[in-house]
């Protein structure tokens, strides 16, 4: 999945959580939604495809692997 199609995955999402190594970024999409370019910058990898894993859980969208994030998402 690439570009605009990746942005469509965010329809109805209020929080985007992105893991890049040990760094965790959280975006409030309901309040202060970043620009599409900024969102694509965190959603897509170097190849231009959606980073993995990518999970939607309720109104949250999680991109990237981080054990702390996954534990938090699935225990809520």
d(CA 30, CA 46): 27
For residue 21, what pLDDT band results from cuts at 50, 70 and 90? confident
pLDDT at 71 over 70: yes
**Which sequence spans correspond to the domains of the chain?**
3-75
pLDDT at 76 over 70: no
For residue 1, what pLDDT band results from cuts at 50, 70 and 90? low
For residues 16 and 10, the answer to whether their CB atoms sit within 8 Å is: yes
pLDDT at 73 over 80: no
For residue 39, what pLDDT band results from cuts at 50, 70 and 90? very high
| Global pTM value | 0.88
């Amino acid at each position: 999945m690439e570009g605009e199609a990746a942005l469509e995955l965010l329809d109805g999402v209020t929080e985007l959580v992105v893991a890049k190594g040990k760094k965790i970024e959280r975006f409030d999409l309901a309040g202060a939604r970043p620009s599409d370019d900024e969102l694509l910058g965190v959603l897509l990898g170097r190849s231009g495809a959606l980073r993995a894993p990518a999970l939607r859980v309720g109104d949250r969208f999680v991109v990237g692997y981080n054990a702390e994030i996954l534990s938090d998402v699935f225990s809520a």
